[in-house]
Amino acid sequence: MHPVLFQIGAVIIPAYGALTALGVLAALALTQATARVARVDPHRLWNLCVAALIAALAGQRLLLALENWSVLRRHPGWIFELAMVHHPLVAAAGALAGAAAGAFYARRRKLPVRATADALAAPLVLGLAFEQAGALAAGSGYGIDAGPGLRWAVTYTSPLAARWSGTPLGVPLHPVQAYAALAFLTLAILLLVWLPVRRKQGDVAGVCLLGLGVAIYLTEIWRDTEGRGAVLNGAVDGPQIAAIAIVLVGALILRERKKKPEASGGIE
């Protein structure tokens, strides 16, 4: 595949970063439509997304800097290469920081919690689909050895894929990133279709979490476990444990049938 989308002199544009950025833009644009359907102020939802994005990027960079502090002290210029590092813990740190910032903004601006979550569900999953497409190009989160018989296997040959993501070169691998991208794209479409006809606020967010958890758990079966925290003698890994937690949270949201009044912040 192609870890570098294109290069102009010494300036390298990574495929992962470019496709992820495209996914962010697509998600932000989509929130303006889903906000109106969910009856949430589109401008406030836009600001929430921007605040969450900035916090996520800051959280990821901070974790990478702390993890590589001894190296950065000797080679400060490597701070610019940290953006090329892709790891589940880095993604988790960004997700937690972004979620905290988004929740703080929603509370401060008195946005309706469940309706806001419904409006964010499809854009979030769409952004993840683009991110996994970028991971496929970069070799990040690569799959297990597919053997010689899998016709749709991917084989990485770029030394940058090995340097940035530890991707094995010259080995046919399951394109697990494509599996995940297709699962996320399908889920995003389903959420968009269901949003206008949902029975109560929060249903779309609950189904989003259920779908995300199932998709993550299943695709991890074909994803190499290197650096993903194998648990129970390799029966499950870190992302699969997180996926189980996501499913449980989604189930709890859907199980709560008592309709609570939503505060101000929506569109009348």
Residue 104: strand, helix, or coil: helix
Position 217 confidence tier, pLDDT thresholds 50, 70, 90: very high
Cβ atoms of residues 13 and 4 within 8 Å: yes
The pTM (predicted TM-score) of the whole model is 0.84
* CA separation for the pair 211, 207 (Å, rounded): 6
Residues in the chain: 268
Round to the nearest angstrom and report the end-to-end CA distance of the chain. 49
The residues spanned by each domain of the chain are 4-255
**pLDDT band at residue 72, thresholds of 50, 70 and 90?**
low
Mean pLDDT of 177-202: 95
Q: What is the rounded CA–CA span in Å between residue 252 and residue 263?
A: 21
Can you tell me the distance from the alpha carbon of 58 to that of 101, in angstroms, rounded to the nearest whole number?
11
Distance CA 62, CA 238 (A): 21
For 128-161, the pLDDT digits (tens) are 999 999 999 999 889 999 988 899 999 999 998 8
In percent, how much of the chain has pLDDT > 90?
56
Which pLDDT band, with edges at 50, 70 and 90, does 75 fall under? Answer: low
- Burial per residue of 214-249, b for 16 or more beta-carbon CB atoms within 10 angstroms, e otherwise: bbbbebbebbbbeebeeeeeeebbbbbebbeebbee
State the pLDDT confidence band at 126, using cuts at 50, 70 and 90.
Answer: very high
Mean pLDDT (the chain) is 86
Residue 23 has pLDDT above 60, yes or no: yes
Give residue 155's pLDDT: 94
Residues facing 92 on adjacent strands: none
Q: Cα-Cα-Cα-Cα dihedral of 186, 188, 194, 198, to 10°?
A: 140
Q: Which two tokens stand for residue 202?
A: 């929060």
Give the span between the Cα atoms of 84 and 90, in whole angstroms. Answer: 11
